[in-house]
């Protein structure tokens, strides 16, 4: 038996990778210094795996921004707007695709399957594909030069890359597929010549609901690769769910197949029992949860391994995490203030490597050798499940009485809209922002000083009030229609609420990457969730005292809090969502009672929690939509409920959006260049839509013509009376001057649209 990993966190235990990347962007270090430090981090990650006794060490999981972007640039799939014409891809071009520049907007960014990570979407414009840079080969040779161990290069596979690339279906698809297969063949052939015994090909797309035509194309791709790849053995890596076409997948011409026995356990184990597993192939079993931070139930996992060992050829069973460990923090050793009952139940990336070694050796040498580890594992889980934090009678009784709570607003939207307009008196194409304003160095310093005890709460709160005053003045000067307080007291849109709700706990250094250099510290939901005191009232009401314009209350929705947290695994996620929704329902009522009549409940993560299997969609959507409605349905008709979603595919998501019954939903329409709004056309969506007319993830300031074009495209699907104008997401990562300049153009866009609509009426 061998142990291996799909991938390891590349950000470093203290986010060294992020800091180096941002120093390079800020021109604080040279490109040579940047490359040297990145190499240092790559080698350090390998050393961790070697020290943990991992048998087959993975390389190629490291990236300078995003691995899908890496492939696009390796293959020359670079959109024409970046004016690339070279035999190599510079870091300037690479980061222009990721972040945009003054001449061209960034490439589209969207969720990586049902995770909280975002990838850069490749854009095919008929380019001739060629292998410009074999990064897996470079990383393989670098590792071999520095370590005398088995090295396994990894790369995202051709099927996943093909099906996630934009515009392939509208181009010459046969030509594209032939070229794509050829560049993969060249890449694999070069790895083979360099001595790579195994190459990992990651195909998470196999866990989705593929069509028979998709599976036929995938089979053809792998048949072709098998004749041109050289002597390297291919480990076909699936993850995030069970494979959809099990019998077809296990017959692909590869030497090994990796299956997820955490998220895809029931179907994968059932398929092996019913259909068997090829005697000539390795089975790499993903039995340690690569997406969560809880300890592995060792006895249960060992029992599974014993069964799997009986179902495959001797010595053909490998053991691994269920997916890349990039989705979990690096090391639990950096935490010192967690409750012991919780700490004993946590395993971050490095601890999961230890579990990997225990299970491998227990299967090889017998469980008795690790009796203490297995017993401690069982006791830790039992103690936490029976602790008071998970036995909150008030919360559990409220859940039992949910049938008594209405999930519908008092009146239909058409009635609410008239009442809200009478109260708010908004112009056509009203303008607002998504909620947050720049988290300047001063804002961050004020928060840090409070945490370190260098200033008192009064001084901290006075600073926050000053920031609110400053930005209310800015917004009034810009002539925005619905204002926000700016969220200067908040670190993260989920963390902030978790800190104020019972049932959550927070780490000091448990960072994971969200996109690019953006890292987050997800809260841990380990007990029953309960509202205790108002969370947003003071700042929102204070902002409203400074203006006669409406100020939005800003909340994060129950499903986003759920999906962007590490969630207890002893009860269904749907129950946890209900607990969060009940807490938010109380907060919304407090805001409404204080006179706040526009309340935004953000749900950017609603779609990302959608199961990969179509047959599981309805169940998830039913309870997640109900959780949003549970949080928001208790308000008066005059109170306008907004929500926000970003960076997800809306084309198949209109009915759930309609079911939310939010008065206004703001969506991203900039990176996708207005395309997703067309999804509303056939659905005849009647509620209002906030159009995200510019990309906040880029320092580039768009011009008015671009924003007008986004709105005009959208008006093919919705009416002017439905349209709001806003940025595509929050503005916390932007600089003040960029923000003000972009918002000024956004407001002027709305003014221009109003003038044109008046002229048309005349």
Q: Residue 415 corresponds to which tokens in the numbers above?
A: 């009635």
Tell me, what's the pLDDT at 761?
46
Q: Do the beta carbons of residue 194 and residue 229 sit within 8 Å?
A: no
Q: What angle do CA 318, 324, 329 make, to 5 degrees?
A: 125
Sheet holding 233-237, edge to edge: 2-3, 317-321, 282-288, 256-260, 233-237, 198-202, 150-156, 56-59
For CA atoms 227, 229, 235, 240, give the dihedral sign.
negative
Q: Residue 346 corresponds to which tokens in the numbers above?
A: 């946590």
Mean pLDDT in residue range 417-423: 97
Per-residue model confidence as pLDDT tens digits over 563-611: 999 999 999 999 999 999 999 999 999 999 999 999 999 998 898 888 9
Q: What SS3 state is found at 480?
A: coil
Q: Do the beta carbons of residue 249 and residue 236 sit within 8 Å?
A: yes
In what helix (H) or strand (E) does residue 743 lie, and over which residues does it extend? helix 736-761
Per-residue model confidence as pLDDT tens digits over 99-132: 999 889 899 998 899 998 999 999 999 999 999 9
Q: Tell me how long the chain is.
A: 762
114-to-108, 204, 250 alpha-carbon distances in Å: 17, 11, 24
User: Using 50, 70 and 90 to split pLDDT, how confident is the model at 651?
Assistant: low
End-to-end alpha carbon distance in the chain:
78
DSSP, res 135: H
Q: φ, ψ for residue 338 (rounded to 5)?
A: -85, 150
Mean pLDDT in residue range 233-240: 98
Tell me, what's the pLDDT at 697?
78
Tell me, what's the pLDDT at 762?
42
Mean pLDDT in residue range 525-552: 97
d(CA 143, CA 57): 9
Mean pLDDT in residue range 506-519: 94
Tell me, what's the pLDDT at 151?
98
Per-residue model confidence as pLDDT tens digits over 15-60: 999 999 999 999 999 999 999 999 999 999 999 999 999 999 999 9
| pTM metric for this prediction | 0.89
Per-residue model confidence as pLDDT tens digits over 450-464: 989 999 999 999 999
Domains of the chain: 2-122+130-326+337-387 (3.20.20.210), 417-761 (3.20.20.210)
The annotation places the binding site at 15-18, 111, 434-436, 487, 518-519, 564, 602, 608, 644, 646, 668, 729
Q: Which of 247, 234, 299, 238 is CA-nearest to residue 265?
A: 238
Q: Bridge partners of 568?
A: none
Q: Do the beta carbons of residue 419 and residue 638 sit within 8 Å?
A: yes
The annotation places the binding site for L-methionine at 434-436, 487, 602
Strands 256-260 and 233-237: parallel
The DSSP-derived string for 511-544 is -EEEETTEEE---EEEEEEEE-S-SSHHHHHHHH
The annotation places the binding site for L-homocysteine at 434-436, 487, 602
Q: Which of 118, 327, 485, 697 is catalytic?
A: 697
DSSP, res 614: G
401-to-405, 660, 736 alpha-carbon distances in Å: 8, 22, 47
The verdict on whether 697 is a catalytic residue reads yes
Q: What does pLDDT average to over the chain?
A: 94
Q: Do the beta carbons of residue 507 and residue 521 sit within 8 Å?
A: yes
Tell me, what's the pLDDT at 677?
66
% of the chain at pLDDT higher than 90:
86
574-to-318, 561, 609 alpha-carbon distances in Å: 34, 12, 11
Q: Which of 659, 586, 599 is CA-nearest to residue 625?
A: 659
User: Using 50, 70 and 90 to split pLDDT, how confident is the model at 679?
Assistant: confident
Answer whether residue 648 shows pLDDT above 60. no
Q: Do the beta carbons of residue 353 and residue 292 sit within 8 Å?
A: no
Per residue, the 3-state secondary structure of 179-245, as one string, reads HHHHHHHHHHHHHHHCCCCEEEEECHHHHCCCCHHHHHHHHHHHHHHHHHCCCCEEEEECCCCCCCC
For CA atoms 196, 197, 202, 203, give the dihedral sign.
positive
d(CA 388, CA 377): 20
User: Using 50, 70 and 90 to split pLDDT, how confident is the model at 154?
Assistant: very high
Tell me, what's the pLDDT at 168?
81
% helix, strand, coil for the chain, step of 5: 50, 15, 40
Per residue, the 3-state secondary structure of 31-65, as one string, reads HHHHHHHHHHHHHHHHHHHHHCCCCEEEECCCCCC
Mean pLDDT in residue range 235-256: 97
Answer whether residue 674 shows pLDDT above 70. no
Tell me, what's the pLDDT at 167?
85
Tell me, what's the pLDDT at 148?
96
545-to-550, 594, 630, 636 alpha-carbon distances in Å: 10, 11, 29, 22
């Amino acid at each position: 038996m061998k142990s291996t990993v799909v991938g390891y966190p590349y950000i470093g235990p203290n986010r060294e990778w992020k800091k180096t990347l941002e120093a390079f962007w800020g021109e604080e270090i040279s490109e040579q210094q940047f490359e040297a430090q990145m190499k240092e981090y790559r080698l350090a990650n390998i050393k961790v795996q070697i020290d943990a006794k991992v048998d087959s060490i993975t390389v190629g999981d490291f990236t300078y921004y995003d691995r899908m972007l890496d492939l696009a640039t390796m293959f020359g799939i670079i959109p024409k707007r970046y004016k690339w014409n070279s035999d190599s891809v510079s870091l300037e071009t690479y980061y222009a695709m990721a972040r945009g520049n003054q001449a061209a907007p960034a490439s589209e960014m969207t969720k990586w399957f049902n995770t909280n990570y975002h990838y850069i979407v490749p854009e095919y414009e008929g380019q001739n594909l060629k292998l410009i840079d074999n990064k897996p080969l470079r990383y393989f040779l670098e590792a071999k030069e520095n370590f005398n161990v088995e090295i396994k290069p990894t790369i995202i596979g051709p099927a996943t890359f093909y099906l996630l690339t934009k515009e392939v279906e509208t181009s010459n698809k046969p030509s594209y597929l032939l070229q794509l297969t050829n560049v993969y063949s060249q890449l694999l052939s070069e790895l083979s010549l360099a001595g790579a015994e195994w190459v990992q090909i990651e195909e998470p797309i196999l866990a989705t609901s593929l069509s028979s035509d998709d599976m036929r194309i995938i089979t053809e791709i792998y048949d072709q690769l098998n004749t041109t790849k050289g002597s390297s053995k291919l480990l076909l890596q699936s993850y995030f769910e069970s494979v959809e076409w099990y019998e077809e997948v296990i017959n692909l011409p590869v030497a090994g197949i990796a299956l997820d026995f955490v998220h895809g356990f029931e179907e994968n184990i059932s398929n092996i029992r019913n259909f068997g597993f090829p005697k000539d192939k390795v089975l790499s079993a993903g039995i340690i949860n690569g997406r969560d931070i809880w300890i592995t139930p060792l006895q249960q996992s060992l029992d599974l391994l014993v069964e799997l060992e009986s179902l495959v050829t001797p010595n053909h069973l490998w053991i691994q995490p269920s997916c890349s460990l990039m989705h979990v923090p690096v090391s639990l050793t950096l935490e010192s203030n967690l409750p012991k009952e919780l700490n004993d139940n946590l395993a971050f990336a490095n601890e999961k490597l230890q579990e990997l070694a225990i299970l491998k050796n227990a299967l090889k040498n017998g469980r008795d050798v690790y009796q203490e580890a297995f017993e401690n594992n069982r006791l830790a889980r039992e103690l936490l499940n029976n602790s008071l934090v998970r036995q909150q009678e008030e919360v559990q009784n409220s859940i039992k009485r949910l049938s008594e709570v209405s999930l519908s607003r008092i009146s239909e939207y058409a009635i609410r809209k008239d009442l809200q307009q009478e109260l708010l008196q908004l112009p056509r194409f009203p303008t607002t922002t998504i909620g947050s304003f720049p988290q300047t160095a001063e804002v961050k310093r004020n928060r840090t000083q409070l945490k370190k005890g260098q200033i008192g709460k009064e001084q901290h709160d006075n600073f926050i009030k000053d920031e609110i005053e400053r930005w209310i003045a800015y917004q009034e000067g810009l002539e925005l229609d619905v204002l926000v307080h700016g969220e200067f007291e908040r670190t993260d849109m989920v963390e902030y609420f978790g800190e104020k709700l019972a049932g959550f706990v927070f780490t000091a250094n448990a960072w994971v990457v969200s996109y690019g250099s953006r890292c987050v510290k997800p809260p841990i939901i380990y007990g029953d969730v309960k509202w205790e005191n108002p969370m947003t009232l003071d700042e929102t009401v204070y902002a409203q005292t400074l203006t006669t314009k409406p100020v939005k209350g800003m909340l994060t929705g129950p499903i986003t809090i759920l999906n962007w947290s590490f969630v207890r695994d002893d009860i269904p996620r749907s129950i946890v969502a209900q607990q969060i929704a009940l807490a938010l329902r109380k907060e919304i009522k407090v805001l409404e009672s204080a006179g706040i009549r526009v309340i935004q409940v953000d749900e950017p993560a609603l779609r990302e929690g959608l199961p990969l299997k179509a047959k599981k969609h309805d169940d998830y959507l039913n309870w997640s939509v109900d959780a949003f409605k549970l949080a928001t349905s208790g308000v008066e008709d005059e109170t306008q409920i907004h929500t926000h979603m970003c960076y997800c595919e809306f084309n198949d998501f209109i009915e759930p959006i309609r079911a939310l019954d939010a008065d206004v939903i703001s969506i991203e329409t900039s990176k996708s260049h207005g395309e997703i709004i067309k999804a509303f056309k056939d659905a005849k969506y009647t509620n209002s839509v906030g159009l995200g007319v510019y990309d906040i993830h880029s320092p580039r300031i768009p011009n008015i013509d671009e924003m007008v074009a986004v709105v005009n495209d959208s008006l093919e699907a919705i009416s002017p009376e439905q349209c709001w104008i806003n940025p595509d997401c929050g503005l916390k990562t932007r600089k003040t001057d960029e923000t003000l300049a972009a918002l000024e153009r956004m407001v002027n866009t709305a003014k221009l649209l109003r003038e044109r609509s008046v002229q048309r009426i005349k």
